[in-house]
Amino acid sequence: MIKNVVTAFDLTPLDETLVKAIRQLPDADEIERLYFVHIMKDLNIPDGLTASFQKLFAPEQPLDERIEAEMAQTVEQTLGEMPGVRIDVDVIEGHPEKKLLEWVKLKNADLLVLGKKRVSGGGVVARRIASQAPCHTLFVPYEQEPKMESILVPIDFSKNSMRALEQALKWKHKRPGLQITALHLAEYLPSGYYMNIKDQSRFNELVKVAAKEAFDEFLKAGKFDPEQMEIVIWGEEDGNVSERILEFANLRQMDTIVLGAKGHSALERFFFGSVTEHLLGLIFKQLVLIVR
């Protein structure tokens, strides 16, 4: 149940997009607490300049209070009515990544909402946060108006993808019009792989049949109703799973991707799921939910 939501503001127009994304959640009516937070970096002002700094930049109102007032205005103008939901707006100081993770734990968050911009390194900070956050994480693209009408769930038959599909189907239960597509990428032999085209085609067809049987077992194990989703098996030959998932999402113009994440032991964080991590660096159009 998503009851406590932490949203990280960066004081740009993206903040409004984050608030709009919260309203798009099919289970928004279950939310009890909304925490909006902005983290200011430590300024480390020399002692002798503190008084003059305050006088120059905050003559009547402390800087953090001024920022909180601006954040509250953004929330009020964008969120609309959410009866019974308690809203908190805070400005805290410290290392943004570290403080944000501390804040998520302190508030017992079920969901962390972050903006996703095109930055150098493909969003390394976003990937680090996703690998360490103890709750679901929703990444909201800067370039698109958030909506949730079609959800893609990549399936690798693991417990992680089972949790992702469970979350997507829960949303469909709340919003029956949602289109859910479960995609599995079968590993085909690449062209020219030590056999002629006819044998290669036959081999790949057998791989697809085996993937279909595995998919049926996966659905049965999770007690999923196949009528609630579209099941697609695509072949991939070169190991670029992330690119193929994104290619499918763009081809179908899907607006949301739901991915399962691993746990939090040191080893699991180190191998945070190469496909998930790589995808986060590529996607800038779809909402992306990382499911814990």
Distance between CA 60 and CA 143 in Å, rounded?
36
The mean predicted confidence, pLDDT, of the chain is 84
Residue 240: what pLDDT?
Answer: 78
Residue 70: what pLDDT?
Answer: 95
**Poorest-confidence range of 57-61, 133-137, 209-213, 269-273?**
269-273
Distance between CA 73 and CA 174 in Å, rounded?
30
CB atoms within 10 A of CB 224: 18
Kindly compute the dihedral angle of the four CA atoms of residues 54, 57, 60, 61, in this order, to the nearest 10 degrees.
-90
Mean pLDDT across the stretch 100-111?
95
Distance between CA 128 and CA 95 in Å, rounded?
14
Q: What residue spans in the chain does CATH classification 3.40.50.620 cover?
A: 1-143, 147-292
The letter for the amino acid at 267 is: L
Looking at the predicted structure, is the pLDDT value of residue 57 above 50? yes
pLDDT digits (tens, 9 = 90+) for 63-80: 888 999 999 999 999 998
**Poorest-confidence range of 8-17, 81-90, 105-114, 261-270?**
261-270
Buried/exposed code over 67-106 (b: 16+ C-beta within 10 A; e: otherwise):
bbebbeebbeeebeeeeebeeebbbeeeebeebbbebbee
In Å, what is the CA distance from 224 to each residue of 117, 153, 218? Answer: 35, 13, 8
Looking at the predicted structure, is the pLDDT value of residue 221 above 70? yes
Q: Which helix (H) or strand (E) holds 150?
A: strand 150-154
Token couple for 141: 């693209």
Distance between CA 7 and CA 21 in Å, rounded?
10
- Interior angle at CA 141, CA 139 and CA 145, nearest 5: 120
Q: In terms of C-beta density within 10 A (0-12 exposed, 13-18 middle, 19 or more buried), how is residue 47 classed? A: exposed
Looking at the predicted structure, is the pLDDT value of residue 87 above 60? yes
CATH class of domain segment(s) 147-292: alpha beta
pLDDT digits (tens, 9 = 90+) for 233-266: 987 766 678 888 999 999 999 999 999 876 444 4
CB atoms within 10 A of CB 281: 16
CB atoms within 10 A of CB 177: 8
**Poorest-confidence range of 80-94, 144-158, 196-210?**
196-210
Q: In terms of C-beta density within 10 A (0-12 exposed, 13-18 middle, 19 or more buried), how is residue 109 classed? A: buried
Residue 265: what pLDDT?
Answer: 40
The superfamily in CATH containing domain 1-143 is HUPs (3.40.50.620)
Residue 207: what pLDDT?
Answer: 81
Helices (H) and strands (E) in the chain, counts: 10, 10
pLDDT digits (tens, 9 = 90+) for 30-46: 999 999 999 987 656 55
pLDDT digits (tens, 9 = 90+) for 161-173: 999 999 999 999 9
Mean pLDDT across the stretch 52-63?
62
Provide CB contacts within 8 A for 288, sequence distance 6+. Answer: 116, 138, 139, 256, 257, 258, 259, 279, 280
What is the percentage of the chain residues whose pLDDT exceeds 70? 80
Buried/exposed code over 227-248 (b: 16+ C-beta within 10 A; e: otherwise):
eebebebeebeeeebbebbbeb
